[in-house]
């Protein structure tokens, strides 16, 4: 049986909620940790479905190139970049973060391993 989008979204939100301040994760990384490897686009849909004013740290999710993904309306990505910069995440002249330095590595503390096991049932 295929997981429902609502169930997948909740698993995605559970993972995103754990990204610490000053760190980022890619859409693909979130998909894998949420138990839906290969579904990076679904993570993007889940982020888009969040209500205005959410407290979920959606701004910490970026693309695999280390860039803030473009939005439908020009300029909306600036808000995400500004939030990341306020947390100490720097961008180079091409608008990319140094993933080697600021990528969240959840397996180091073991907490996400438990999340993955609980949500993949």
118 neighbors 21 (Cβ within 8 angstroms): no
5-119 has which CATH code?
Answer: 1.10.10.10
What's the Cα-to-Cα distance from 47 to each of 10, 15, 58, 93, 114, rounded to whole Å? 11, 12, 6, 26, 23
Q: How confident is the model at residue 118 (pLDDT cuts 50, 70, 90)?
A: very low
| Count of all residues that appear for the chain in the document | 121
pLDDT(120) > 60: no
Q: How confident is the model at residue 3 (pLDDT cuts 50, 70, 90)?
A: low
Average pLDDT, the chain: 87
């Amino acid at each position: 049986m295929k997981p429902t989008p609502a169930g997948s979204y909740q698993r995605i939100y559970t993972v995103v909620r754990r990204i610490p301040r000053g760190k980022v994760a890619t859409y693909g990384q979130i998909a894998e940790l949420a138990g839906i490897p290969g579904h990076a686009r679904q993570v993007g849909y889940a982020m888009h479905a969040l209500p205005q004013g959410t407290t979920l740290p959606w701004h910490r999710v970026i693309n695999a190139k280390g860039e803030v993904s473009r939005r439908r309306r020009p300029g909306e990505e600036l808000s995400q970049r500004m939030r990341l910069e306020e947390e100490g995440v720097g961008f180079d002249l091409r608008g990319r973060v140094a993933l080697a330095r600021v990528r969240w590595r959840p397996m180091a503390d073991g907490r996400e391993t438990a999340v993955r096991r609980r949500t993949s049932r």
